[in-house]
Amino acid sequence: STAQDFQEMARRLRGVLLSYWLGPRQSYLWVVTGSQVATFILPGEETLAERVRKYQSFLEDGLGDPLVSQDANGAALWQTLIAPAQKMIPQGAEVILAPDGVLNSLNFETLPVPGERWHYWIEDATVRIAPSLSVLYANRTERREPPPSVLLIGDPVSPGGDFPGLPHAADELRRVRRHFPPGASKIYEGAIAQPAIYERAAPDKFRVIHFATHSLPNRLSPLDSALILSPKNGVYKLYARDIAEVPLRAELVTISACKSAGARTYSGEGQVGLAWAFLQAGASNVIAGLWDVDDTYTPGLMDSLYAGMQKGMDAAEALRRAKLALIHSQTVARKPYYWGPFLIFTGRDR
């Protein structure tokens, strides 16, 4: 791929591409629009990693509110990672990010934009995450997706104390189901939501696949990361390595589970784990969680997501609007801990 190839992709997307590379002494940001390519030098990996760790800790304790506290680490990350490219990103633009290293653990949408009115960057852009720009460019071909339909798997029987029941999972599955035509959904829940049911359900026939369950990341062996489903004969894990072997044509796979985004980062591949496995299988987009997901507010977020898609929005914009509804609410769910875990990963440029 050449710079001109990426500019052509940016024109087709009517968006902006941001690609990061972290080095020990200095790091780099490449910004690609339909008309230009720009390079910016950033601090070294250790400096960025320290800021990311502190900001993530602030968000994940559940109490952090970057807009109220005007968090210094979050603002510094925005100033370092986004501000250099700000003049090249129109308001409301679609942005495709290709992070590197520790930046894969950061939801850029949660970064506070300092100024007269502090706000989250999600208010300025619709963001998708790509493993790398070259992977995205390689998967630019058109293809036919199945008609509107959904495969729902979740609310499993607990296989043990490490994976307690999810009180709101059944409600989530029903909220999602109602946004699809009658007869266009298939649901497996409770005791029948077993690992073997996934392949038997012929997932390549569905436009959307939605899981509501626990996940178990495996950093040492990322393809042994698993979705936790109902046990049968002692088997209750649907492994990433098995998911990657089952072909898909889905527009969207949603993994409504804690820490389902990925287990380990590899250069050029992004976070390898469950989300990566579904992209490898052929899904165009995967929504997955970076950190622990709150079971109380997730059903409402998913309801809003699929309501937006039912109105004709693409998955990225529908997810963004669902998050903005929480941000602008007067509830505790306005904090990034509740809406920030979910990111949309893409393996195709459309």
**pLDDT in the model for residue 305:** 97
| SS3 assignment, position 19 | strand
At 200, the pLDDT band (50, 70, 90 cuts) reads very high
CA pair distance 114, 76, nearest whole angstrom: 9
CA pair distance 54, 58, nearest whole angstrom: 6
The CA-atom distances, in angstroms, between 317 and each of 17, 98, 176, 287 are 17, 18, 17, 12
Reported as a single tens digit per residue, the pLDDT across 139-175 is 766 677 888 999 999 999 999 989 998 999 999 999 9
**pLDDT in the model for residue 342:** 93
| Cα 328–chain centre separation | 21
CA pair distance 89, 322, nearest whole angstrom: 22
Structure tokens at 327: 């941000």
Q: Count Cβ atoms below 10 Å from residue 67 Cβ, excluding itself.
A: 17
For residues 212 and 169, the answer to whether their CB atoms sit within 8 Å is yes
Reported as a single tens digit per residue, the pLDDT across 258-317 is 777 766 676 666 677 899 999 999 999 999 998 887 778 899 999 999 999 999 999 999
At 187, the pLDDT band (50, 70, 90 cuts) reads very high
At 220, the pLDDT band (50, 70, 90 cuts) reads confident
pTM above 0.85, yes or no: yes
